[in-house]
Amino acid sequence: MGSYNYYKMFGCFNRKFKISESEPPPDVREAFWRYADGAAHMTSEQLVIFMVEHQGEEGCSAADAEAIMHNVLQRRHHCTDKRHGFTLEDFFYFLFQDDLNGPINPKVHHDMTAPLQHYFIYTGHNSYLTGNQLSSDCSEIPIIRALENGVRGIELDLWPNSGKDNIHVLHGRTLTTPVPLIKCLKSIKEHAFVKSPYPVIITLEDHLTPELQAKVAEMAIQIFGEMLYCPESGCLEEFPSPEALKHKIILSTKPPKEYLGSNNNKDGETSPAKEKDSSEDENEADDKSDRDDEDSDNLNRKSGNLTAPEYKRLIAIHAGNAKKKGLRHVLRISVDRANRLSLSEQELEKAAALYATDVVRFTQKNILRVFPKGTRVTSSNFRPTNGWMHGAQMVAFNMQGYGKSLWMMHGVFRSNGGCGYVKKPDLLMRRGPNDEVFDPKLPLPVRKTLKVVVYMGDGWRLDFSHTHFDAYSPPDFYTKIYILGVPADNAKRKTRIIEDDWAPYWDQEFTFPLRVPELALLRIEVREYDRSDKDDFGGQTCLPVSELRPGFRAVPLYDKKGQKFKSVRLLMKFQFE
């Protein structure tokens, strides 16, 4: 072997294992010397001043600073002696810890006492499906997973079983295998408030006889008990607040008389498959669910006098129908009770194009749910921003897969402590002197400018194998930055490519003028440049601009499915002008 080829092979082989330690960017060094008054160590008192002045954390106290210092010294040096304070390296380490210095407030901090329609609600679509919309299994497992991730809106499709004497959950007129309703309800009870104490709304798509509706009522009463919210008057003039509904389960569907005998699949959504008797694929599932059906029968014998009116009494949020009188009429009609209306993504697009302000005005009193079109058989999703900018509270998403739209949904509901309820911007709830409301299409002036500095990244060497990106050299990372919101605010930028470095250092600033910052999302994606193939994925996150904390921030990245990487993060700076 020639010396050149020997060097090329083994030189590259050694190069991929050469990992240099990350060093503080000049901005971090300058901030340290400034707040430490030029000394080699920063005291806890000086750290408080830095946190308040530079990081914008006005509530930071001496005790908070001492707790940070204690934590960092324990992690780095396995000691808690604060007499000498932070060195520059300690200070840099602290800034790069997302649990100590993350980009958004990790606690619930929105006003939770407004009526439900004042909030965006983390909502699932066909929550029982394990995969695609046509042939995947139905199970309680996706429901449990959704609740553990903070989802507050669960959707169940109710159909008679093959014997017409019990209730199964499945996507009707498809090949999906069913799961017994009782299993889903028990799972909801057990996991509803693991992640968040705020109410869980169960939207029911009901294809049942009055006898089976009575059975649903009896199951709900027996399983949920005091957890079940039932308005005293039978229908709500105004929705209660998330705070008033803590640890409550809420049922929402159309009152029985409005959909009995209907041939619709759900909320006007047409099935992507040809109609078929749903009992054809239920034999195997029936064998698996005998025990659950026995439980249901036992419940039925305990309260056999229940009828469909009892079922109607349990429906706290009534769902309306836009098909009979036309969508615009439904949006404009003034009613004395609070309703929920469901629209497909195409119906929302049409309504937003033709009468956007009617949609916004409707959502100031009522709840609007938007669901994916029936042709999304692979469980893909639509861009949620169109729903949010028109005030839609329940943008219902397929949670089974991944993609940019789902990343945006994850990002919005990381805010407010991940509790599943995010207070809508005031601009969506206001009315002017002539009853005018927010119109996303109107030209607006720039109200705020966001400056973003991408300093550096680290952690890939710990979370990925050394040959994951390139077989013979370190990766070539770059970062893409997007603003997603009203059309006039949408923008994208990217950093330069840093070659052959596991800890890339960019130190680049980007400026984004914003007209409606309250509805803007900052989407961040790191990719690894590949000359001969598609660039590799290196992590992503979405952050609500309104939640961003100023100053230096450690921004954790997530994988394609939305799971947080253990180590991968960026050091960034956010500044508003």
Report the CATH number that the domain containing residue 464 is assigned in CATH. 2.60.40.150
Using DSSP, state whether 83 is helix, strand or coil: coil
> How deeply is 271 buried, as exposed, middle or buried, from its count of CB atoms within 10 A (0-12, 13-18, 19+)?
middle
Domain boundary among 412, 432, 459: 412
Please, what's the largest Cα pairwise distance for the chain? 91
pLDDT tens per residue across all 577 residues of the chain: 444 444 344 444 444 445 567 899 999 999 999 999 999 999 999 999 999 999 999 999 999 999 999 999 999 988 866 667 899 999 999 999 999 999 999 999 999 999 999 999 999 999 999 999 999 999 999 999 999 999 999 999 999 999 999 999 999 989 999 999 999 999 999 999 999 999 999 999 999 999 999 999 999 999 999 999 998 876 778 999 999 999 999 999 998 865 544 444 444 443 333 333 333 232 333 333 444 444 544 444 444 444 778 899 999 999 987 776 788 888 887 666 789 999 999 999 999 999 999 999 999 999 999 999 999 999 999 999 999 999 999 999 999 888 999 999 999 999 999 999 999 999 999 999 999 999 998 999 999 999 999 999 999 999 999 999 998 999 999 999 999 999 999 999 999 999 999 999 999 999 999 999 999 999 999 999 998 889 999 999 999 999 999 999 999 999 999 999 999 999 999 999 9
Residues 206 and 131 both lie in one domain:
yes
Q: Is residue 531 part of a domain?
A: yes
Q: What are phi and psi of 226, to 5 degrees?
A: -70, -15
Residues 157 and 85 both lie in one domain:
no
The pTM (predicted TM-score) of the whole model is 0.89
Q: Is residue 102 part of a domain?
A: no
Q: Is residue 45 part of a domain?
A: yes
Residues 83 and 225 both lie in one domain:
no
Residues 474 and 349 both lie in one domain:
no
Q: How far is CA 27 from CA 33, 327, 524, in A?
A: 10, 55, 21
Residues 72 and 169 both lie in one domain:
no
Domain boundary among 95, 113, 144: 95
Beta bridge partners of 484: 521
Q: How distant is the alpha carbon of residue 358 from its chain centre?
A: 26
Residues 266 and 406 both lie in one domain:
yes
| pLDDT value of residue 329 | 85
Q: Is residue 426 part of a domain?
A: no
Query: Is beta strand 367-371 parallel, antiparallel or unpaired with respect to 394-397?
Result: parallel
Using DSSP, state whether 128 is helix, strand or coil: coil
198-246 pLDDT per residue, tens? 999 999 999 999 999 999 999 999 999 999 999 887 677 899 999 999 9
Residues 237 and 380 both lie in one domain:
yes
Q: Are 155 and 259 in contact (CB under 8 A)?
A: no
Residues 88 and 165 both lie in one domain:
no
Q: Is residue 179 part of a domain?
A: yes
Range of the domain at 288: 123-412
Residues 368 and 456 both lie in one domain:
no
Report the CATH number that the domain containing residue 312 is assigned in CATH. 3.20.20.190
Residues 308 and 380 both lie in one domain:
yes
Q: Is residue 269 part of a domain?
A: yes
363-389 pLDDT per residue, tens? 999 999 999 999 999 999 999 999 999
| pLDDT value of residue 531 | 86
| pLDDT value of residue 328 | 86
Q: Please give the tally of structural domains in the chain.
A: 3
Half-sphere exposure of 526 (CA within 13 A, CB side): 31
Q: Enumerate the active-site residues.
A: 125, 171
Q: Is residue 50 part of a domain?
A: yes
Residues 398 and 454 both lie in one domain:
no
Using DSSP, state whether 61 is helix, strand or coil: coil
Which parts of 75-180 are beta strand (E)? 119-121, 123-124, 153-160, 167-169, 179-180
Residues 196 and 325 both lie in one domain:
yes
Q: Is residue 118 part of a domain?
A: no
